[in-house]
């Protein structure tokens, strides 16, 4: 970064501070954080292949179920282990949503705070001016104060849209993982555990009674 770039950045920050105070600068930072968080989260989710049952997280889950089934676990324990593995994939898919939820809540409040502080400054300036105050000066101070409220709502809306997108993709991944887990466990040859005897029993009770 050259000195010219640094100077341009300083001028931009000074402009934001002049128009909306420090709250507007924080809101600009939150907007950048929102986009960066959503971008990283979407890349992470894309790596899990949330729309495919034959690759990504679903393929890994099926392979892990086969490995666990071969280790001698009964059907109930296998289902519990499968649930933990699936939850880890979903937690990875939704890892950035908590931060987006915080931004959705905080951005409008921060914008409102900036407006209140701006209104206070405007009325203090009007009081200092005394009888020489002009309505145009008061109106200018008010609209500059309202900028932070508008900025806070824009940041919150952007975070809400991105949060909904990530949540929808993660919800689709959850549905496919449930389908793959149910099918893989049903196709496994793992016996059920008889709760009365604590012994493995056949998955097909009709065959046991016929014998």
The 10s digit of each residue's pLDDT in 69-79 is 888 777 788 88
Pairwise CA distance, residues 18 & 148, whole Å: 12
Range 33-43 average pLDDT? 92
Q: Per-residue pLDDT for 114 more than 70?
A: yes
Who's near 51: CB < 8 A, 6+ residues apart?
172, 176
Q: Are 202 and 74 in contact (CB under 8 A)?
A: no
Lowest-confidence region among 57-61, 92-96, 206-210: 206-210
For residue 149, pLDDT over 90 is answered with no
CA 94 to chain centre: 5
Tell me what pLDDT residue 191 has.
55
pTM of the predicted model as reported, rounded to 2 decimal places: 0.72
Q: Are 151 and 16 in contact (CB under 8 A)?
A: no
* pLDDT above 90 (res 109): yes
Region of poorest pLDDT, from 10-19, 120-129, 142-151: 10-19
Separation between Cα atoms, residue 59 and residue 73, nearest integer Å? 20
Burial class (CB in 10 A: 0-12, 13-18, 19+), 111: buried
Query: Using 50, 70 and 90 to split pLDDT, how confident is the model at 204?
Result: very low
Q: What is the pLDDT of residue 121?
A: 75
Task: Report whether pLDDT(188) > 90.
Answer: no
Q: Is residue 23 pLDDT above 70, yes or no?
A: yes
**What pLDDT score does 46 carry?**
87
- Residue 7 reports pLDDT greater than 70: no
SS (H, E, C) the chain: CCHHHHHHHHHHHHHHHHHHHHHHHHHHHHHHHHHHHHHHHHHHHHHCCCCCCCCHHHHHHHHHHHHHHHCCCCHHHHHHHHHHHHHHHHHHHCCCHHHHHHHHHHHHHHHHHHHHHHHHHHHHHHHHHHHHCCHHHHHHHHHHHHHHHHHHHHHHHHHHHHHHHHHHHHHHHHHHHHHHHHHHHHHCCCCEECCCCCCEECCCHHHHHHC
């Amino acid at each position: 970064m050259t000195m010219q770039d640094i100077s341009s950045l300083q001028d931009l920050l000074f402009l934001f501070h002049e128009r909306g105070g420090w709250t507007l600068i924080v809101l600009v930072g939150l907007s950048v954080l929102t986009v960066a968080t959503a971008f990283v989260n979407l890349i992470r989710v894309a790596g899990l292949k949330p729309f495919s049952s034959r690759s990504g997280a679903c393929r890994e889950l099926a392979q892990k179920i086969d490995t666990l089934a071969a280790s001698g676990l009964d059907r109930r324990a296998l289902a519990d282990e499968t649930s933990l593995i699936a939850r880890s994939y979903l937690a990875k898919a939704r890892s950035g949503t908590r931060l987006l939820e915080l931004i959705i809540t905080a951005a409008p409040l921060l914008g409102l705070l900036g407006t209140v502080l701006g209104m206070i400054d405007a009325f203090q300036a009007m009081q200092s001016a005394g009888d020489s105050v002009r309505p145009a000066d008061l109106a200018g101070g008010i609209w500059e104060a309202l900028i932070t409220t508008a900025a806070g709502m824009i940041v919150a809306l952007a975070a809400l849209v991105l949060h909904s997108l990530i949540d929808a993709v993660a919800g689709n991944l959850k549905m496919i993982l449930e389908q793959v887990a149910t099918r893989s466990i049903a196709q496994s040859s793992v016996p059920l555990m008889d709760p009365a005897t604590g012994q493995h029993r056949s998955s097909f009770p009709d065959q046991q009674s016929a014998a």
